[in-house]
A and B are shown apart, each in its own frame.
Chain A
Amino acid sequence: MESTADSRNLEVASLPAPGSDEELVMQLAAGDAAAFDQIFDRYHKQIYNFIRKQVSERENIEDLVQEVFLRVFKSSKNFDTSKKFSSWVYKIALNEVKRHWKKSAAKQTFSLNTPVGDEGSESERQDFIEDFRDLPENVLERENFSETLKVLIDRLPEKQRTVVILKIYHELTFEEIAEICECPLSTVLSRMRYAVNKLRRWLGVEED
């Protein structure tokens, strides 16, 4: 008796919380198509904005968002409900973005010279510093700071840029980002550090 009660408790403990994203995916996987609309409404804005920051061609954003949610629909049975749905859907979105980069001739957003590795080579960085040598010291206070920053973020190597976007704009934890990027936590932290250090140097940000 006791062991049956225990196993029942275990079963209950492993069920997603009522109303949670994970429960909705379970419902979708069980054939409840209405759950899909709720999932879409919870996540389409975040995924739209994540993709918008990763691809330059505006007309592709909606198509990519659609692809992401089609995959959610079709793969809901494969979702491991012990994991977070948010990490899963971002992982799908990142894979779609990568697929798009591969297909697109203009793979990078703003420059053909964008470094593609984790860190980028020293010479590429140096070239870029030269490009921005004339940035005024008070760049952080400028009205067009957001435009400057957008260009700079787009110049980061892909993997660093993804970490920066997921962390700063989507407020995911480093653990979640590690799961999405399928790499160790230490790698995510190191990409964040390299990216922020680059942005600092490029912007000329130092202590007050």
Chain B
Amino acid sequence: MDCKKIQDVIFNFVYGESSEAELEATRDHLEKCGDCARERQVIEKLLSKIKNCEPQESVSEDCRNRMLSKIKSSLGGEEAPG
């Protein structure tokens, strides 16, 4: 694994989706290469900031009921597909 290849696999790595072989090779490289290790930290920090800055919006009960009722009225009493 070299610095260029790390760019292709770093997101798999930070999200824990690396294959077994890829995981080991990525870990090895990050232990040896300070630049890539710092790069990984920057990416993780940014992803975490992005994630935390905008929580999911809650959907009110009213909104939920309104949507469900409109869906059912669009179906016009249509039976379930079976």
Contact = CB atoms under 8 A, between A and B. Distances in A.
B82 A199 contact: no
Contact of A48 (B11, B39, B57): B57
Contacts of B67: 40, 44, 62, 65-66, 69
A78 to B, nearest CB: 9
B63 A77 contact: no
Contact of B46 (A36, A69, A189, A199): A199
A33 B79 contact: yes
Contacts of A76: 80-81
Majority SS at the chain B contact face = helix
A66 B42 contact: no
Contacts of B81: 28-29, 31, 73-74, 76-77
B50 A149 contact: yes
B82 A48 contact: no
Interface residues of A, number: 51
Interface of B: 7-12, 15, 17, 38-39, 41-43, 45-47, 49-51, 53-54, 56-59, 63-64, 66-68, 70-71, 74-75, 78-82
25 contacts: A28-B81, A31-B82, A35-B80, A41-B64, A46-B56, A48-B57, A62-B63, A62-B66, A66-B67, A70-B71, A73-B71, A140-B49, A145-B49, A149-B50, A149-B54, A167-B15, A168-B47, A169-B51, A169-B56, A174-B12, A186-B8, A189-B12, A193-B8, A196-B11, A199-B46
